[in-house]
Structure 1
């Protein structure tokens, strides 16, 4: 073992010895403090009862005197030693007058609307939020109760709107239409507002096949639905145009009973505010005659586009 290792071992031994001495000193100090605390909390009355009585009794004492002295020493110390406190005696009359705390808690938030004491009706009072001014504007503050009421009102209105839409879709309307092959062949059909253009063409084709041989091999995809000089796609419903009050080039798209007749003359003045019958046209006929009036005026329907009558445009076709 080297000289450095020997010195390190001696240093560690001395440090442990100092730690042991400090531990013994702390242990002795704690014991002394415990003794002092115990002495402080010892009852003075018990010490007096144990030490004073023998000093007062000196010599021969009669038994009666000994009992009297013992009684005098123990009587005043009983309450101090035991810590007992005599409870005041409450008369039965005072107990009746004493209010019951439980009942007062129950009736704390109640209002009585009856003057008679025998029959009282209590109504609970709704507590407001703590610290909230009832006159202050709190509409900008998030409120769970208010948001719940708004959500319920929205659901109710949405349900009413859906029921109203469903009711309107089931209503029947009269649709005036004609098969257009250069001349008019007018007919009428009653359908529901919720029908699509494709459903209407399917029913109309079943009727027209009996009169026109060229329509026997045709199907719905081979037909065009033309209303107010606009070619309407097949997926639209009649309710779509009725609800939006859409206008076409020569009249309203939402009126299908055709107040006006088929326009046979190139006179734009005859198209003012009147609805015209729907034209059912074969696509093959349109491709052959789209440069000839009236097919030359037809164009594809564009949603939300505003179609205005232009008399100069109509007269330029003459």
Structure 2
């Protein structure tokens, strides 16, 4: 076993050395390639300079035949060097201009291809029609791109169409809000009964946007002078029971009307109060009628919630649907 482990360690060490040598070879190859590239570049530069000075030397030999003084020789050499440098500068300038011209032509060809592609689904206005309709001024006007009516482009983004849709949506929203506020401001007569074991019917004029708490406050002000137990009571001590459902104080009449909320024996609010169907022989039949709600003290409800009709009352649940009336 020990011999096997030693063999494995030797094999791992050998593998590690092989990988290290391969890595060093790769680095050496990259270094050689870089040195070769630098040598080639330097040779090119040297060739350019040597060609330049060779040309100057040849020109100098051809123009100085015979005996000349040293000063004339230096002056002639300097003049030839300046002239040669000027020629090279002009050549470089012409080469730069040629490259700019090629780049400009390439840009024009690219724009022409883009216009051709856009012309597949967009068409230019007819030039003849422009000339006939407006004369020389119309011909000078810039053409504009328009959608081809024969191509379905509804799936493409359109800023003008989106802005028009946003404006229409905003107008509809403001119109709906104005209509909602108008409906909330409508006055209605809410018929109710103060229930203390028997009914005492009253009517309060409220707005559809009023909350149940506001309604109970108005009802309490009218009931205090007739019922002694209500003189010290507050709104939070009252309950409003409609169609056998105990309504929360924060809901508005408008909320129930818009949602077309229903109770056990009919709609919560349609403001057409009728007699209670449960007091007639056809109590099992659902009626599309609204009945007078009950204003009740919570203390009375806690004492009598096991007795009819309080035994039927349940808290209002907006998720529950009372589509069919069930007799208990």
Q: 1:307 to 1:27 in 2, by over 3 A?
A: same
Cα distance in 2 for residues equivalent to 1:280 and 1:32: 121
- Correspondence list, 1:125-136, <5 A: 127-129=144-146, 133-136=148-151
Report SS of the residue matched to 2:145.
Answer: coil
Unmatched segments (≥5 aa) in structure 1: 1-18, 40-106
Per the normalisation by structure 1, the TM-score is 0.60
The offset of 1:297, in angstroms, is 0.6
In structure 2, C-alpha distance between the alignment counterparts of 1:169 and 1:222, rounded to whole Å: 26
- CA gap of 1:109–1:121, structure 2 versus 1, over 3 A, is closer
Task: Check the 8 A contact 1:226/1:280 in 2, yes or no.
Answer: yes
Shift of 1:29: 3.0
Aligned to 2:54: 29
Query: Structure 1, residues 245-286: CA drift from partner, whole Å, max 9, x if none?
Result: 111101111213413358556862476222111100000100
Provide the alpha-carbon RMSD of the alignment.
Answer: 3.9
The answer on 1:242 being equivalent to 2:267 is no
Distance (whole Å) between structure 2 residues aligned to residue 149 and residue 262 of structure 1: 53
Q: What number of residue pairs does the alignment pair up? A: 224
More helix by share: 2
* Equivalent residue runs for 1:214-293 within 5 Å: 214-261=229-276, 264=279, 268-269=283-284, 272-293=287-308
Shift of residue 150 of structure 1?
Answer: 1.1
1:242 aligned counterpart, secondary structure: helix
Specify every segment of 5 or more residues in structure 2 that has no aligned partner in the other structure, as ranges.
1-42, 60-79, 85-126
Q: Distance in 1 between matches of 2:58 and 2:229?
A: 123
Of 200, 204, 220 in structure 2, the residue corresponding to residue 185 of structure 1 is 200
TM-score by length of 2: 0.58
Distance verdict in 2 for CA 1:288–1:270, change over 3 Å: farther
